[in-house]
Amino acid sequence: MLRAGGRRLLAPGLRRLGFGAAGEAGPAAAAAAGARAYHERVVDHYNNPRNVGSFDKDDPNVGTGLVGAPACGDVMKMQIRVDEDSGKIVDACFKTFGCGSAIASSSVATEWVKGKPMDEVLTIKNTEIAKHLSLPPVKLHCSMLAEDAIKAAVKDYEAKKAKMGQKGEDSPSEKAAEA
């Protein structure tokens, strides 16, 4: 980060969002400078991420999805805990190494999957996450990672159940693939 006279040189719009010194340049200066600022939902989920953490990956009721985007260096691990009786996701958590948009996308995804059946969470699309967070086109890959992480976690959970011989009829991911 560049420093001038002991002060960080940040885009004025980022200062306004809490990334710079308080009371410095406001929205008008940000617009004049052409700086892009994140939407308030991205900033909220970045500053106060929901469901950060991890579960025991060896737990038979936990599915783990690990996905990454080599082009930008973002890596996302999402885990779901499923109630065997109801088939609903009772808890979810994530750990993400990446930009603010990747962290916000992970946080939103964990909120959205909680309490839902696995076949329903497989219908969550990256476009819905991107729209909710108002992600710019250059950051759409972050919402794609979140969608992929959800699918990978469900697939991992189903693979564990299949390995244990507890798989009944078609799994939710197989039903979604047929549709």
Given 52, 66, 72, 159, the catalytic residue: 72
Structural contact between residues 164 and 60, judged by C-beta atoms closer than 8 angstroms: yes
Q: Which of 78, 93, 130, 142 is catalytic?
A: 142
The reply to whether 72 belongs to the active site is yes
**Phi, psi of 54, deg, nearest 5:** -155, 155
Q: Which residues pair with 176 in a beta bridge?
A: none
| Distance from C-alpha of 123 to C-alpha of 162, rounded to nearest angstrom | 22
Distances (CA, A) of 10 to 27, 38, 53, 74, 99: 14, 14, 31, 23, 16
Sign of the dihedral through C-alpha 68, 129, 115, 91 = positive
Q: Is 142 a catalytic residue?
A: yes
Written as one letter, the residue type at 13 is G
Q: Which amino acid makes up residue 122?
A: L
The answer to whether 64 touches 75, Cβ cutoff 8 Å, is no
Where in the sequence numbering do the catalytic residues fall? 72, 142
